[in-house]
Amino acid sequence: MRIVQRFAVPAGLAVSLLSLSACAGVKTSVPQVNNYEEGGLGPVSAGSGSLFTLGKGANGNSGANTNLQVNAYLWRATLDTLSFMPLVSADPFGGVIITDWYSPPSAPNTRFKANAYILSRNLTANAIQVSVFEQTMQAGQWVDIPADPSIASGLEDRILARAADLQAAAKNMD
């Protein structure tokens, strides 16, 4: 038994190393991602910012250039509209905003959570999708219940209206 253990570990290690070395010749490709101006209207230079300077130029000053891969007006409008709920995650490159649970003051035994997906660089009605989740307190436990679909569509309408206002304000500044 001892002899088997002595050879099993080095043999397993050797097989693992051979398997990994076989992967050395595999070529992988990463799709090239274009950076777009705010609003998704055209390309910007590669040096216009980084993950830590989102929405700022290479010198750190705020400018019109951003690395957003989604419509910047929809992004800002979504953040504005959902700002009453605690934010869990916001991915400006993927266009995903996830909130934490929120209980309205008028209904402390009910709570809501929202996920917003920006699906396009265009400012259109089908470029935003909001999913709303609802729970209610029953016997000391939060229980999932179906959320009223009008809540999600109402949030989408508010986001679209706010995005249109932001876009109009930006055009008036030009």
Q: Is residue 163 part of a domain?
A: yes
Distances (CA, A) of 31 to 28, 34, 91, 146: 10, 10, 19, 39
Q: Is the pLDDT of residue 46 over 50?
A: no
Is 12 domain-assigned? no
- Provide the residue range defining the domain that includes 54: 28-67
Domain count, the chain: 2
pLDDT greater than 50 at residue 164: yes
- Residue 2, domain member (yes or no): no
Residue 84: the pLDDT is 95
| Domain-terminating residue out of 38, 67, 96 | 67
63 and 87 housed in the same domain: no
Q: Quick check: is 105 in a domain?
A: yes
In 3D space, the residue among 45, 49, 103, 95 whose CA is nearest the CA of residue 73 turns out to be 95
Percent of the chain at pLDDT above 90? 56
